Structure 1
Amino acid sequence: MNPTIVTHPNIHFADIPMPGPAASENTPLLNPPVPRIDESAWERTTDTDRPLRIFLDELRILTRYALPVFGTHLLEFSLIMASVISIGHLSTTALAAISLGTMTANVTAFSIIQGFTSALDTMLPAAWTSPQPELVGLWSQRMAIVMSVLLIPMYALWFNAEAILVRLKQDPEVAHLAAVYLRFLSIGLPAYAFNCISRRYFQSQGLFAVPTQIIFIVAPTNVLLNYLLVWGPQPIRLGYIGAPIATAISFNLVSLMSIAYGIFYVPRTSWHPLSRRMFTSLGVLVELGLAGVGQTASEWWAWELVALAASLLGPVALATQSVLLVSASTTFQAPFALSVASSVRIGNLLGEANAKRAKVASNTSLIMALGISAISSAMFLIFRNSWAYLFNDDPEVVKLVASILPIVALFQVFDGNAAITAGILRARGKQVTGALLNLSAYYIIGIPFGMWLAFSRDMKLHGLWIGLTVSLVYCSLFGTLLCLRTDWDREVWKVAQRLNEHGKVGRIHTVDEEDGALLEA
């Protein structure tokens, strides 16, 4: 075992054990290693062509990283979107109800689950590259325990949703149908939580394509189930309740396939036998999970608050908001996938003390975001008069959607850019900065301004979307400024300092020490 020496001005640290006789700063700790992109071509470039060559290399690498993430999130999102589309053609009231039901599910459960399981983004990658890779399985088991407890109040809210929604001044018929939707969707709630854990379990080991492959099989099955249970032959047609049942079945299918894949196709390197240890250190995950909820759910809740405001404008406005929200959320999956890829890529480069390359990767991702956003904007502008027919046949909804889509097209540019800057900030360890940016953008600027336009200036749904666009302009401009002004040499220095401060991998010996070191990391 040879020590790895990482050099940088004013930095020198060693004694991190690496396998093999020819270890370097790029040598993985484990076998099999996390997949890496071959950069040998870049290393052979000359000074004259290096800038363009580096840009093209980063373009290729970021695209290769982002594609499986995009596929996973887009197909996962389609599980809900299929229900919205199938129910939307039943009636405008049904579309408004599923919109309200989905909003309630997001606020009271899905956003919280996503926020809590984001704690695994900190724990699992560190565990996988440590001398104790089986901690990946142990931390996943611990998160499953935390999720099991959190599901109890979620179920209590969902099964009392009708009374709560009526007290919030929702239309009684819409509130009743939304509560029915939640009751049947709850069949898949534990599976949804498990899927958020299993996806991170696979990705922490470099198995990015596994969740994509699984959801690629389930997504078309979900479409078929929605058709059969909502619109199919009489013996199996269930109508409105068929959509949430189809979604719940699909969530459970993803869980079963993930378990089967983990048992039969993934090496046991990362698995920890079931034991009483899974009930220990739960406070660590709760603490990290609450921070994750504050960062992730705040943006979700802002969107749902706008949907709640839209519901006060009547069923047509709520149905229109559902169409616009689903559309914007679908196109958002591309820049979001790129933001995840950028965060991983830049983080790797900072760990390798490659400040110059990290800067190029950051700038490349910003340029790519503009290209993606331009495609989305053009699509909404070109098809604005017919877009709503994908979801609903009500002439009022179609007309209102067409009148707001130009605002949504402008929104795309800043929404995509804000997503990328958030990913860059995460790579730099600036999650708090990103959270403060979102909080101030939505809750201090965008939503109050949108509410004022919608209700005081009688601009209604147009006003709400103008407010959202203003909030994203603020996020995008300040986020881009923070990224462009980054001192990447200092960022490399900060990463090295954190490694020195929190101890070296070789110092982890006991159970208590390993958990503490991973928590600090």
Structure 2
Amino acid sequence: MPVPLGLSTTSDSQRIADLSQVLETTPLLSPPVPCAHKDAELASYTSQTTRSVLWDETKILLKYSFPVFGTHVMEHSIMMATVISIGHISTVALAAATLGFMTANVTGLSIVQGMANTLDTVLPPAWTSDQPQLVGLWTQRMSEFTNPVLALWFHAEPILLGLNQGPEIARLAGVYLKWASLGLPAYAFNCVSRRYFQSQGLFTVPTRITLFIAPINIFLNCLLVWGPEPFCLGFIGAPIAASISYNFVAVASVVYGVFFVPRTAWHPITVRAFTNLGYLAKLSFGGVGQLASAWWSWELVGPSSSLGPVPLAAQSVLITTSSSFYQAPYALSIATSVRIGNLLGERNAKRARVVVKASFLIVLVLATLFSCTLITFRRSWGYLFNNDPEVIQLVAAVLPLLALVQICDDGSGVVSGILRARGEQVLGALLNIRHATALILWIPAYYVVGLPIGLWLTFKWDFGLFGLWWGLNIAVVSAASAGLYLCLITDWDKEVDKVAARLAVDKRYKPVDEEHTH
């Protein structure tokens, strides 16, 4: 019979004895338990050759990345199903859904994701420290920060009209956002709960949940968009299906966390959840800045929509394609962040340094594979989303530029994971004068270099979407180069000390008083 969270059935001495037997080779299907110091493992690491350690870390990153990739592919399929189902209604409907989805990204999803990314900094080292219950405590703290404001989504139509969007596209985009808002709170919760599981090495838990929900989402899209009366809702059926699916994932995550996951990382709900919020707010602000500085520029809402329905529909296909292919390097980014965080919690700076090299080797192979795939199938790719010959032709013409973007953008994703493990989101890095030179290149790469050049090529030289994607190419090359520099100059011994200092802050608090536990 499952044991409720917060209750204990074993003695402390027995738990310590069990913990000491757990090694790095613990299978993912068996929930790992934390270990404060692994002296035997550290000695083994020291005796290994650099090539051997690199190969070991490559295998670990791949083992971590596969279930994370599965999770994100299944979750991304929720939005993919929306775009595909609406895309076959009409080109105008696809353009409106694209504008609505882009607006949702800029004003909601990117903010939630950026804040949740903060947990990649604090949860993994807490899990491998002598205070694994801090995983639950930091999760509770972050839950206080992920309460998005939905007012903008309910008043999107007049705002989009004010930005010179077409009346019909603006109206449909506003309708899309109103129904999509039903899933935003659940989406925020899912981002946080996923980090809670992954920091403990339970990478397959979110995968199982989304693998179960994804087929339900496809069924709901077919039923609500194209199904028989009275279920057929047409355009609004797609965002409704996505919202229902996100809420299903949230409910399943709660059930799994309560009944099927060990309580080792759980922290009772107490007033401690309201402590140390300043540090979390600083990281959250930096996390949003780190993600949004790149994510928002990809949306390019105004420029692409100003070119007309066909370019906007083609941009929808291109952005959706890029997002889909990005799921693999993003999974690697999370796996890298978790792995480095765990090693920092174990005070193993040498091993963390090797993880950086292994992650870049893997992402180079991935980016090359994805770029070749896009080039090979560029002429037929657009048919997955739309049947308009003009849209298909434009997609085929721009896809080589997307393939070129893929190489450096995938590398930037891994860089972001490494910086999150260090706690060096944009705000934190800005406070470090030693990194100022790289950040001069990194943050403005999109808004000072890439986007202005893209707009100049698009409107001054009439390059259309080609101009926007050339601008993105310049931006990601600048960002990836600066990010690589930031990773190479890292002093991992100092990073270990930073993690120890952060954990010491919570350690100063006295044990939780039962009278304050809810």
TM-score range, shorter chain: 0.7 to 0.9
Amino acid at match of 1:342: T
Work out whether residues 130 and 505 of structure 1, in 8 Å CA contact, stay in contact via their aligned partners in 2.
Answer: no
Partner residue, 1:10: none
Query: 2:32 & 2:56 partners in 1: Cα distance?
Result: 25
Query: What's the offset of the Cα at 1:335?
Result: 1.3
Query: What's the offset of the Cα at 1:164?
Result: 0.6
- Aligned to 1:241, the other structure's residue is in SS state helix
Query: Where do 1:227-266 residues align within 5 Å?
Result: 227-266=222-261
- Aligned to 2:334, the other structure's residue is in SS state helix
Query: 1:506 & 1:312 partners in 2: Cα distance?
Result: 51
Work out whether residues 185 and 247 of structure 1, in 8 Å CA contact, stay in contact via their aligned partners in 2.
Answer: yes
Query: 1:119 & 1:494 partners in 2: Cα distance?
Result: 19
Q: Judging changes above 3 Å, is the alpha-carbon distance between structure 1 residues 270 and 429 closer, same or farther for their aligned structure 2 residues? A: closer
Query: 2:496 & 2:188 partners in 1: Cα distance?
Result: 35
Work out whether residues 412 and 483 of structure 2, in 8 Å CA contact, stay in contact via their aligned partners in 1.
Answer: yes
Query: What's the offset of the Cα at 1:213?
Result: 0.8
Greater shift, 343-352 or 274-283, is seen at 274-283
Partner residue, 1:340: 334
Greater shift, 214-223 or 197-206, is seen at 197-206
Superposed CA offset, 1:376-432 (max 9, x none): 111111111110000000111001001001111111111112222333344444432
Greater shift, 414-423 or 251-260, is seen at 414-423
Partner residue, 1:294: 289
Amino acid at match of 1:260: V
* Structure 1 residue 442 corresponds to structure 2 residue 446: yes
Query: What's the offset of the Cα at 1:281?
Result: 5.8
Choose which of 162, 166, 188 in structure 1 pairs with 2:161.
166
The TM-score, its normalising length taken from structure 1, stands at: 0.83
Partner residue, 1:451: 455
Query: 2:339 & 2:414 partners in 1: Cα distance?
Result: 12
Query: What's the offset of the Cα at 1:277?
Result: 5.7
Query: What's the offset of the Cα at 1:128?
Result: 4.2
Query: What's the offset of the Cα at 1:280?
Result: 6.0
- Aligned to 1:333, the other structure's residue is in SS state helix
Query: 2:466 & 2:500 partners in 1: Cα distance?
Result: 52
* Structure 1 residue 510 corresponds to structure 2 residue 504: no
Query: Where do 1:382-393 residues align within 5 Å?
Result: 382-393=376-387
Considering only aligned residues, what root-mean-square deviation do their CA atoms show, in Å?
A: 3.4
Query: What's the offset of the Cα at 1:125?
Result: 3.9
Greater shift, 265-274 or 56-65, is seen at 265-274
Q: Judging changes above 3 Å, is the alpha-carbon distance between structure 1 residues 276 and 390 closer, same or farther for their aligned structure 2 residues? A: same
Query: Where do 1:74-89 residues align within 5 Å?
Result: 74-89=73-88
* Structure 1 residue 486 corresponds to structure 2 residue 489: yes
Amino acid at match of 1:62: L
Query: 2:180 & 2:332 partners in 1: Cα distance?
Result: 30
Query: Where do 1:106-255 residues align within 5 Å?
Result: 106-125=105-124, 127-128=126-127, 133-148=132-147, 151=148, 154-255=149-250
Amino acid at match of 2:247: N
Query: 2:189 & 2:279 partners in 1: Cα distance?
Result: 19
Partner residue, 1:422: 416
Q: Judging changes above 3 Å, is the alpha-carbon distance between structure 1 residues 78 and 34 closer, same or farther for their aligned structure 2 residues? A: farther
Query: Where do 1:48-63 residues align within 5 Å?
Result: 50-63=49-62
Superposed CA offset, 1:124-143 (max 9, x none): 44554566644444443443
* Structure 1 residue 473 corresponds to structure 2 residue 477: yes
Superposed CA offset, 1:213-268 (max 9, x none): 10111111111111111112233111111100100010010011011111211233
Q: Judging changes above 3 Å, is the alpha-carbon distance between structure 1 residues 398 and 273 closer, same or farther for their aligned structure 2 residues? A: same
Work out whether residues 318 and 395 of structure 2, in 8 Å CA contact, stay in contact via their aligned partners in 1.
Answer: yes
Superposed CA offset, 1:355-396 (max 9, x none): 554444322222221211111111111111110000000111
Q: Judging changes above 3 Å, is the alpha-carbon distance between structure 1 residues 119 and 271 closer, same or farther for their aligned structure 2 residues? A: same
Work out whether residues 45 and 351 of structure 2, in 8 Å CA contact, stay in contact via their aligned partners in 1.
Answer: no
Partner residue, 2:369: 375
Amino acid at match of 1:291: G
Query: 2:47 & 2:254 partners in 1: Cα distance?
Result: 48
Query: 2:24 & 2:94 partners in 1: Cα distance?
Result: 53
Partner residue, 2:302: 308
* Structure 1 residue 400 corresponds to structure 2 residue 394: yes
Work out whether residues 411 and 472 of structure 1, in 8 Å CA contact, stay in contact via their aligned partners in 2.
Answer: yes
Query: What's the offset of the Cα at 1:145?
Result: 3.6
Query: 2:342 & 2:136 partners in 1: Cα distance?
Result: 23
Query: What's the offset of the Cα at 1:492?
Result: 3.4
Query: 1:22 & 1:318 partners in 2: Cα distance?
Result: 55
Q: Judging changes above 3 Å, is the alpha-carbon distance between structure 1 residues 25 and 205 closer, same or farther for their aligned structure 2 residues? A: closer
Work out whether residues 349 and 493 of structure 2, in 8 Å CA contact, stay in contact via their aligned partners in 1.
Answer: no
Query: 2:161 & 2:507 partners in 1: Cα distance?
Result: 58
Work out whether residues 143 and 192 of structure 2, in 8 Å CA contact, stay in contact via their aligned partners in 1.
Answer: yes
Amino acid at match of 1:447: L
Query: 1:133 & 1:89 partners in 2: Cα distance?
Result: 49
Partner residue, 2:360: 366
Query: 1:425 & 1:288 partners in 2: Cα distance?
Result: 11
Query: What's the offset of the Cα at 1:302?
Result: 1.4
Query: 1:113 & 1:503 partners in 2: Cα distance?
Result: 25
Q: Judging changes above 3 Å, is the alpha-carbon distance between structure 1 residues 363 and 279 closer, same or farther for their aligned structure 2 residues? A: closer
Q: Judging changes above 3 Å, is the alpha-carbon distance between structure 1 residues 42 and 466 closer, same or farther for their aligned structure 2 residues? A: farther
Amino acid at match of 1:463: G
Work out whether residues 349 and 496 of structure 2, in 8 Å CA contact, stay in contact via their aligned partners in 1.
Answer: no
- Aligned to 1:270, the other structure's residue is in SS state coil
Query: What's the offset of the Cα at 1:117?
Result: 2.6
Greater shift, 175-184 or 129-138, is seen at 129-138
Work out whether residues 179 and 240 of structure 2, in 8 Å CA contact, stay in contact via their aligned partners in 1.
Answer: yes
Query: 1:42 & 1:382 partners in 2: Cα distance?
Result: 48
Work out whether residues 117 and 197 of structure 1, in 8 Å CA contact, stay in contact via their aligned partners in 2.
Answer: yes
Choose which of 458, 463, 467 in structure 2 pairs with 1:463.
467
Q: Judging changes above 3 Å, is the alpha-carbon distance between structure 1 residues 230 and 140 closer, same or farther for their aligned structure 2 residues? A: same
Query: 2:396 & 2:411 partners in 1: Cα distance?
Result: 24
Query: What's the offset of the Cα at 1:269?
Result: 3.6
Q: Where do 5+ consecutive residues of structure 2 fail to align? A: 1-14, 26-30, 430-434, 514-518
The TM-score, its normalising length taken from structure 2, stands at: 0.84
Partner residue, 2:498: 498
Query: 1:427 & 1:282 partners in 2: Cα distance?
Result: 19
Work out whether residues 120 and 420 of structure 2, in 8 Å CA contact, stay in contact via their aligned partners in 1.
Answer: no
Query: 1:61 & 1:100 partners in 2: Cα distance?
Result: 39
Query: What's the offset of the Cα at 1:333?
Result: 1.0
